[in-house]
Amino acid sequence: MDGKEVTLAGFAHETRDLGGIAFLVLRDRKGLAQVTLVKKLLGKEVFKMARTISRESVVLVRGNVKAEPKAPRGYEILPSEIRVINAAQVPLPLDPTEKVECELDTRLDARFMDIRRPSVLAAFEIESSVLKSLRDYFYQKGVTEVFTPKIVAAATEGGTDLFPISYFEKEAFLNQSPQLYKQMLMGAGMDRVFEIGPIFRAEEHDTRRHLNEAISIDLEVSFADDKAVMELLEEAVVGAYRYVSENCRYQLEVLGLNLAVPKLPFRRITYTEALDLASEKVGVKMQWGDDLDTETERFLGESIGEHYFLTDWPSSIKPYYTLPYEDRPDVCRGFDLMHPRMELASGAQRVHGYDQLVGRIKEKGLDPDGFEFYLKAFRYGMPPHAGWGLGLSRLVMTMLNLENIRDAVLFPRDRRRLVP
C-alpha cells in the first residue's frame, strides 16, 4: 500500500519523542503500526497534542503509507490528521505492552486491559478457532447442536458439589453437566447431539486446572459404543490442533509456539496397565479400585509423553450411567482422555437398560426416585449410546502450553473470584 491514503484507529501503544520528530505506535488485535509525526506536516498545534497522547487512548489517524525499512514490518504512516477519540486515564492498571511482568491477580482484576496484551488475546482467538473446528467436525459427522438447561432440580451424580440457587418457591441448582439431558435426547431419537456450554462445580479446589465454572464440549451418539466415540474424540482433538496450526499462524507466532499436531491414533492403556506402570515406580502404591492420584497421572504423562486414553476403569469409581462389561461387571466401559499434564475428557458407553440403570443408581447409594425424570426416558425404547465431555479450557491450555487454566478463561470463577 506504499503511497496509499489510509485511515487507522486503535490504541496508542507507545509514543516516542525525539524533538522535531516523534513516533506514535498504534495497536489493534492484528499488530502494530508506526505513525511518524512530523511537525512540518501536522502543524505546531496538532504536533504538540499528538506528542502527549496518553498511552492506550483510542486514536484515529488519517495519512499516507510509506515504505520505511526501519519501521515495524517495513511501513510507516505519515499523518495528515490525528484525532483522540477517547483518552485513557493515567496511570494504567497494568502495562499492556508486556514489557513489565505482572501478578495473575492484578491481571484478572483489570482483565479488559490484560486482554490488550497480544499474547493474552492470542490464546482467546485460538480458542475461538478450536470451537469452530470442533463445530465443523460435528456438523460434518451429522451431529445436531443442542442446548440443555443449566437450571436444574437434581444433581447429575447425586454429589454435593452443586451450587444451590433460589428459584421461586423451589429448590434448584446450577447444572454440573449436561449428562442426563443428552442421554434423554438419545431416548428422544435425536440420534447424535453435541452441546458446548457451561458446567458448574461447587468444589473447593484450588488448582491450576479447576474452576467453578467451565465450558464443556459434550457429545452423545446413539448406537455407538465406547470405542466408536473414542475415535470421534481423538479425531476431534487432532482436527482442532491441525486447524489451529493452519489458521492461527499469527497468534502462534505471538505466543512463540511451534504447534506439533498429535498423531492418530492415541495410545490406549487400561486402568490395570496404568496401575502396573505406576507401581514399577518406587513410591506409587495403588490398589485396584483406587482413583488415580495426581502423582500417578503425572508419572504416566511423563513416561508416555503424548495424548493417551485410559480405559476399562473399575465400575466402582465411575458414575452409575457407565456401562459395566457383561462378563466382568467390576470393570466398565468408561474412559478418560489424558494429556501428559492432565485429564482432558471423560466418556463412556452408557447403561441403556432401565432395570440395570436403576440397579446401578442404588449400588451407588442414590435414590432412583430423584432421577424419575431421567429414568422415564429409559422405559419406552432407549437406543444403546455412548458419549463424552471435553473441557474446552483444558484443551486450549494444554495445546498452548499455558501454565494456568485462568489464562484460557476470559473471566474465571474460582473459590475467591466472582468479579469481574
- Give every CB contact of residue 306 below 8 A, 6+ residues apart in sequence: 262, 263, 266, 267, 340
**Residue list 339-368, contact with Mg ion (CB under 5 A):** 346
- Cβ proximity to ligand ATP: between 24 and 344 the closer is 344
- Cβ proximity to ligand ATP: between 15 and 346 the closer is 346
Catalytic residues: 201, 203, 209-210, 343, 346, 394
**Residue list 210-239, contact with ligand ATP (CB under 6 A):** 210-211, 214, 216
Q: Which three cell numbers stand for residue 77?
A: 504512516
| Own/partner long-range contacts of 35-39 (Cβ < 8 Å, ≥24 apart) | 35/8, 35/61, 35/63, 35/76, 35/77, 35/79, 35/82, 36/68, 36/71, 36/76, 36/77, 36/78, 36/79, 37/79, 37/82, 38/78
- Cβ proximity to ligand ATP: between 53 and 143 the closer is 143
To the nearest whole angstrom, how small is the minimum distance from the Cβ of residue 343 to Mg ion? Answer: 6
Binding mask 327-346 for ligand ATP (x = CB under 6 A): ----------------xxxx
The candidate with the shortest Cα–Cα distance to 190, out of 203, 199, 181, 201, is 181
Q: Which three cell numbers stand for residue 198?
A: 457451561
- Cβ proximity to ligand ATP: between 360 and 394 the closer is 394
**Residue list 147-176, contact with Mg ion (CB under 5 A):** none
DSSP for residue 260: P
Contact 9, 59 (CB under 8 A): yes
- Give every CB contact of residue 123 below 8 A, 6+ residues apart in sequence: 251, 255, 396, 400, 402, 407, 408
Does 394 contact ligand ATP by CB under 6 A? yes
**How many of the chain's residues bind ligand ATP (CB under 6 A)?**
13
Does 310 contact ligand ATP by CB under 6 A? no
Among Mg ion, ligand ATP, none, the one that 216 touches (CB under a kind-dependent 5 to 8 A) is ligand ATP
- Cβ proximity to ligand ATP: between 94 and 409 the closer is 409
Closest residue to Mg ion, based on beta-carbon distance: 346
To the nearest whole angstrom, how small is the minimum distance from the Cβ of residue 177 to Mg ion? Answer: 10
To the nearest whole angstrom, how small is the minimum distance from the Cβ of residue 210 to ligand ATP? Answer: 4
**Residue list 164-203, contact with ligand ATP (CB under 6 A):** 201
To the nearest whole angstrom, how small is the minimum distance from the Cβ of residue 83 to ligand ATP? Answer: 44
Paired with 196 in beta bridges are 217
Among Mg ion, ligand ATP, none, the one that 344 touches (CB under a kind-dependent 5 to 8 A) is ligand ATP
Among ligand ATP, Mg ion, none, the one that 96 touches (CB under a kind-dependent 5 to 8 A) is none
Contact 399, 134 (CB under 8 A): no
CA distance 239 to 195: 18
To the nearest whole angstrom, how small is the minimum distance from the Cβ of residue 268 to Mg ion? Answer: 17
The candidate with the shortest Cα–Cα distance to 26, out of 42, 13, 16, is 13
- Cβ proximity to ligand ATP: between 11 and 320 the closer is 320
Residue 297: how many CA atoms within 13 Å on its side-chain side? 17
Among ligand ATP, Mg ion, none, the one that 391 touches (CB under a kind-dependent 5 to 8 A) is ligand ATP
How far apart, in Å, are the Cα atoms of 417 and each of 113, 213, 334, 397? Answer: 18, 11, 33, 20
- Cβ proximity to Mg ion: between 221 and 342 the closer is 342
Q: Which three cell numbers stand for residue 301?
A: 504423562
| Own/partner long-range contacts of 290-298 (Cβ < 8 Å, ≥24 apart) | 290/317, 291/317, 297/338, 297/342, 297/343
Among ligand ATP, Mg ion, none, the one that 62 touches (CB under a kind-dependent 5 to 8 A) is none
Q: Return the residue of 389, 407, 412, 414 that touches ligand ATP, per CB under 6 A.
A: 389
Q: Output the CA torsion sign for 111, 113, 114, 118.
A: positive
Q: Return the residue of 187, 314, 391, 412 that touches ligand ATP, per CB under 6 A.
A: 391
To the nearest whole angstrom, how small is the minimum distance from the Cβ of residue 201 to Mg ion? Answer: 11
- Give every CB contact of residue 143 below 8 A, 6+ residues apart in sequence: 192, 193, 194, 219, 221
Among ligand ATP, Mg ion, none, the one that 133 touches (CB under a kind-dependent 5 to 8 A) is none
Residues that bind ligand ATP (CB under 6 A): 201, 210-211, 214, 216, 343-346, 389, 391, 393-394
Q: Provide the binding-site residues for Mg ion, judged by CB under 5 A.
A: 346
